[in-house]
Structure 1
Amino acid sequence: MKIIIAGAGEVGYHLSKLLSYESHEIILIDKDKDRLLYADSKLDIKTLQFDATSIQALKQANIQNSDLFIAVTSSETTNITACVISKKLGAKKTIARISNSEFTDNKDEINFSELGIDELISTEELATHEIKLLLEKVTFNETHEFEGGKLTMVALELSRSAPFVGKTVKEAAGIFAGINFMPIVIKRKNTVETIIPRGDTKFRVGDQVYFITLEKGVEELNRLSDVKNKPIKNVLILGGSKIGEKTARDLCSKNLNITLIEYNKKRAIELADLLPNALVIYGDGRDVDLLEEENVSEMDAVVAVTGRSETNIMSCLVAQSKGVERTIALVQNVDYFSLSKNIGIDTLINKKLLAANTIFRYIRKGEVLEMTILNDINAEILEFKAHKNSKITKKPIKDLKFPRNAIIGGVIRDNTGIIALGDFKIREDDKVVVCCFPKTISKVERFFN
């Protein structure tokens, strides 16, 4: 595919990096020469210095022959304008990064595709949704819902007392017959080893295990994980960014007790007016005395979403030292993911990865409905739609000769989630959730073409 990305900031650079691994033809454009020089020195892509809304420049980038135009500059107006112009000039698909949630809230009323924008992506909205999901499923340190929760991916670290430990997948399935979940990928503790589990794969203490589960399977995993699923009622949010504001507003609507600390006095006053149901405090979230004054030890969760990764991490560590059981930190550097368990923070979230998850489904072959890249794990989870002539529909799963480095975790049929075992036969229009190594994706895609 020929893909043009406008904006060489953190999101644009990260997308360019990931997409360049897929052997696509990537052109990265930006007005900032230094950003382009950095990208050019690190990535095997073409860079062009110009304004993304310049018609002449877009023609120079051969926009008329592009398969996908992605506008992820820091300017919402630039992204929208660039997508409209690019579509008129011949780009097959366009994606715009936006920050104003009014656009996504009213996308059913306003047909943006008629204007030339095929998809709107709000990294702030994606991050807010991820935070809410993590607070709802507090036992788990990663979650992702498919089709509104018909199937859910959850991840947890196995403690010594977990009933899975020491047993193979096959043995566990025999002991816990009728359980509504399936392990799809395992990362061994203190290693970079990623395993697509088979029947003889043995669970070990400290394993980070990812499951595909039905709605009732989530509660079963809660019980079997040996972790107390304490309901969340009191939440402290550090940082009055757009993510902090939207998270506070959404959580207040669920009748949670929200305290928000913002370092900028003017912004704190503004937030106090915007969030009448939350307690807004002007101060530094790293200030131990302030946190003690606000009874941080009585909080069920602390969410740190300031503009600095280090501040978010340090604030969460302070909260952990005061006994807060659930901490979530927003970080910019994906390298921090490999350190999260060692430094004691429950969950890190990254806007770049969340945006990539949404955008990548436009890159894959076959009809990819959803995709998520797992944090610090060499595996991806994709949701495909099966068609009448798809190879995946021809035989039961056990007879398909499906790639060994891939596993079918579940199927959504007629709006109902199903854990798909070997005898299950996939039908036309089924939505199939698959976990696999990146190098195996092309083989998996052939089953759905």
Structure 2
Amino acid sequence: MDIVIVGSGKVGFSLAEQLVKEEHNVTVVDNDEEALRRAGDQLDIMTVRGNGVSAAALREAVVDKADLLVAATNADEVNMVCCLTAKDLGAKYTIARIRNPEYTANLAELRRNLKIDMAINPENSTAVEISRLLRFPSAANIETFCRGKVELMGFRLQEGDFLIDSPLYALPAQVKKLSLLFCAVDRGGDVSIPNGSFVPKAGDKLYMVGRPDSLDQFFRQLGRYAPKVKQVFLIGGGKVSMYLASTLDRMGIRLKIIERSEERCRLISEQFPRVTVICGDGTDSELLESENLSASDAFVALTDRDEDNLIISLYAMQQGIKKVITKCNRQNYAGIVRSLGLDSVISPKFVTASNIVHVVRGLQNSQGSVMNSLHRIADGGAEAMEFTVGPATRYLGVPLKELKLRPGVLLAVIVRKNNIIIPEGSSFLQEGDRVIIIARGGGVLDLNDIYRSESITGGAGA
């Protein structure tokens, strides 16, 4: 696909990087010559220097032939006008990054009037991810499918866990009866799809998918069940914190925020009277101690500096806080910190780029199986996708034991009406099913992509 990205900041660059990996033709438009040089040098893309709302700059980027335009500058107004201009010039589909809560309140009208096909809000999406982790603190990562009927969770194996040094086929009977499946493992950055003979080791990050109640029971059996979070300690009062405060307030969770800016403190206090707001430096350990940090159930670091977030998160972990969530946009930092024991690392630009890649794949595959959601897991080493089985899906009604799937692909869950099915050899697909696919290394755009070319055992495909 031909894709134009306006804005080469954190989100724009990360998105361009992912789209290039998926072999799309990408053009980046930006006023910043240095940002364009960096993008052009590191990625195989075209660059245009100019204002994203300028028709001349967009024409130079050949937006009239673009399948998609993504406006991802730091200014909401620029992004909205850019989409309007691009649509008038002939762009087929437009996405605008809109972050201001005042705009999101009237989003439907804005989208209609400014010809915006989709609006993305990185800060709100990040807050949603964090609130999900706070609802289930035992997991390092959690994704939802089929409107919450199925969840995927990642967790780090520790010394003493009963799974260690025993193959998965030898799991205790009380685990085998649960409606869940071990679907991926990250061992030192090497991501694989485990089979029954896989032997987990301490330090592995395992991913499970299944019924939420089964996952809950598994963590209880593992001895990792964490009580419900009642009090959260948060550093940083930016946009993500505001969205998160709104969510936690509705959930009845007590929240304490430390923020340097007096103006931001006043704003938060006015909007959220039940939130405790302290004006101060969140990296000051004496301040954290005086505010009784260790009494909190969870800690969230959301400052604008990755380095500060990582340092204070490690400090919070040393203070014995069981759930620590860290915002970090630099991928190289995230890997280092996970090796130190911080598993719940959130990247707003990564969350946003993944959401847009999901849309791109949907546009590519408008005639095939419907991709309902896409989540990258194991630091991007694997993908978890939800598809709806349509009439064009091959091998309907054929037992899975008679089919051959591509290497590195797992059909993890079938949702048939209200039934959650962990597939066995006799399981089959039928139209209307929703299925969750785990694929290592990507490359699955359509449900039919999971099959080998000669899929039926012993012969050609139907």
Q: Which of the numbers 323, 327, 339 marks the counterpart of 1:326?
A: 323
- 1:253 aligns with 250
Q: Identify the match of residue 286 of structure 1 among 255, 259, 283.
A: 283
- Give identity over the alignment, percent: 28
TM-superposed deviation, 1:384:
1.7
The one-character-per-residue Cα deviations of 1:278-307 (angstroms, maximum 9, x if unpaired) are 010000111111111111110111111011
Residues in 2 aligned to 1:446 and 1:375: alpha-carbon distance in whole angstroms: 21
Cα offset, 1:7, TM superposition? 0.6
The reply to whether residue 194 of structure 1 matches residue 191 of structure 2 is yes
> How many Å separate the matches in 2 of 1:346 and 1:379?
17
2:319 and 2:134 map into 1 onto residues whose CA distance is: 19
In 2: Cα distance, 1:247 partner to 1:255 partner = 12
* 1:23 equivalent in structure 2: 23
Give how far 1:163 is off: 2.7
1:153 corresponds to which residue? 152
**In the alignment, structure 1 residue 431 sits paired with structure 2 residue 434:** yes
| 8 Å CA contact 2:167, 2:199 repeated in 1 | yes
Give 1:269 shift: 2.1
**How far apart, CA to CA, are the structure 2 residues paired with 1:442 and 1:310?**
36
> 1:269-280 alignment to 2 at 5 Å?
269-280=266-277
Q: Which moved more, 1:233-242 or 1:86-95?
A: 86-95
* Deviates most, 321-330 or 6-15: 321-330
Structure 1 position 165 matched with structure 2 position 168: no
Amino acid at match of 1:183: F
| 2:444 alignment partner, SS class | helix
- 1:371-410 correspondence runs (5 A): 371-391=374-394, 393-410=396-413
1:74-223 to 2 correspondence within 5 Å? 74-104=74-104, 107=107, 110=109, 112=111, 115-172=114-171, 176-188=175-187, 191-223=188-220
Q: Is the 8 A contact 1:113 1:119 kept in 2?
A: no
SS at match of 2:153: strand
Equivalent-residue separation in structure 2 for 1:13 and 1:297 (angstroms):
38
**374-383 or 235-244, which moves further after superposition?**
374-383
Given residue 379 of structure 1, which amino acid in structure 2 is its aligned partner?
A
Residue number among 421, 432, 441 corresponding to 2:444 in the alignment: 441
1: CA distance between counterparts of 2:109 and 2:423?
A: 38
* Structure 1 range deviating more: 387-396 or 281-290: 387-396
**d(CA) in 2 for partners of 1:333 and 1:416?**
40
8 Å Cα contact 2:444-2:450 kept in structure 1 = no
**1:414 aligned onto 2:413:** no
The answer as to whether partners of 2:184 and 2:206 remain within 8 angstroms in 1 is yes
Contact 1:52 1:82 in 2 (8 A): yes
Structure 1 residues 422, 77: closer, same or farther in 2, change over 3 A? farther
Query: Which one-letter code corresponds to 2:67 in the other structure?
Result: D
Contact 1:391 1:447 in 2 (8 A): no
Structure 1 counterpart of 2:146, which letter? E
Q: What residue is the counterpart of 2:12 in the other structure?
A: 12
Give CA-to-partner distance per residue, 1:11-61, whole Å, 9 cap, x none: 000111111111111101111111001111111010111111112222222
- By how many angstroms is 1:117 displaced? 1.4
- SS of equivalent residue, structure 2 residue 209: strand
- In the alignment, which of 284, 290, 312 is matched to residue 309 of structure 2? 312
**Partners of 1:161 and 1:250 in 2: how far apart?**
36
Q: C-alpha displacement at 1:174, in angstroms?
A: 5.8
- Please say if residues 136 and 232 of structure 1, whose CA atoms lie closer than 8 Å, have aligned partners that are also in contact: yes
SS at match of 1:401: strand
In terms of mean alpha carbon deviation, does 252-261 or 196-205 score higher?
Answer: 196-205
Q: Match for 1:11: what amino acid?
A: V
TM-score by length of 1: 0.93
Secondary structure at the residue paired with 1:408? strand
Q: Tell me the equivalent position of 2:458.
A: none
Stretch deviating more after TM superposition (88-97 or 165-174): 165-174
Give me the whole-angstrom Cα distance separating, in 1, the residues matched to 2:7 and 2:99.
Answer: 15
Equivalenced residues, count: 445
**CA distance, structure 1, for counterparts of residue 257 and residue 80 of structure 2:** 32
Q: Is the 8 A contact 2:71 2:79 kept in 1?
A: yes
Given that 2:81 and 2:114 are in contact with CA atoms closer than 8 Å, whether structure 1 keeps it comes out as no
Gaps of 5+ in 1: none
State the AA in 2 paired with 1:177: K
TM-score, length of structure 2 as denominator length: 0.91
Secondary structure, aligned partner of 1:144: strand
Quote how far apart the aligned CAs of 1:387 are: 1.0
Q: Are residues 174 and 104 of structure 1, via their aligned partners in 2, closer, same or farther at CA, if it must alter by over 3 Å?
A: farther
- Contact 2:389/2:447 (CA < 8 Å) preserved in 1? no
Relative to structure 1, the CA distance from residue 198 to residue 114 in structure 2 (aligned partners, 3 Å threshold; closer, same or farther) is farther
CA deviation map 1:216-269 (0-9, x unaligned): 112122113321312211111100001112212221222211111001122212
